Every structure is written in C-alpha cells, then in structure tokens.
Amino acid sequence: MAPDFIAESVGYQVVSASGNISPKSVALCGIFVSNAASTPTITIYDDAATGTTVPLVNTFTPVSGTYYKLPFRALNGLNVVIGGTVSCTVALQAETLK
C-alpha cells in the first residue's frame, strides 16, 4: 500500500542581504519570500563566491508570502543578490553529482 503523502525536505538558508549561500555545487529547489518591499528584486548567480557573471535566475520582483519553485542545479555555488527590502528562505540540496 502506498503512503498517503510523501514527505520532502531540503536544506535552507534565510536571506535578507546579498551574499554567497553555497561555495559548492548545489540544487536550488526554490525560494519562499516572507517579506518584499521598497522595489524588491532577487537575482541568483552560479558562483562559488560573490561573482555576477553567470546568472542562474535573472532578476525578478518577488511578492511577499509567495513560494517560487526553482528546480535548477548550480554547478559552482549560489550567490544571491537582493535589491530593496527582501526577507526570504532559499531551499537547497547538496549535490552529489557534478
């Protein structure tokens, strides 16, 4: 008999300012935005530090109380750049393949 539900969980990082959240390959699962104001923007780069050369998710305007499913693999790492006022939780999973 199959279970009624499948529990899914991943790692996370709470973000309210720009910065690198993973210096190695990870799977980006999504972003839950708890607060977004004052011309908010989020851009995500595939970078092991704070580089902005390889965009993984181009700049978008987040809305408070919204979960954005982002099933992408970052080969080098994740650098999140925040504009305006944004508080969010980035869901990610350590990569075992590169």
The label of the residue with tokens 């987040």 reads: 62
Q: Which of 42, 45, 71, 68 is nearest to 56 (CA)?
A: 45
Calculate what percentage of the chain has a pLDDT beyond 70: 89
Domains and CATH numbers, the chain: 11-94 (2.60.120)
DSSP string for 52-96: -SSEEEEEE---TTEEEEEEEEESS-EEEEEEEEEEEEEEEEE-S
The pLDDT tens digits for 6-60 are 557 889 999 999 999 999 999 999 999 999 999 999 999 999 999 999 999 999 9
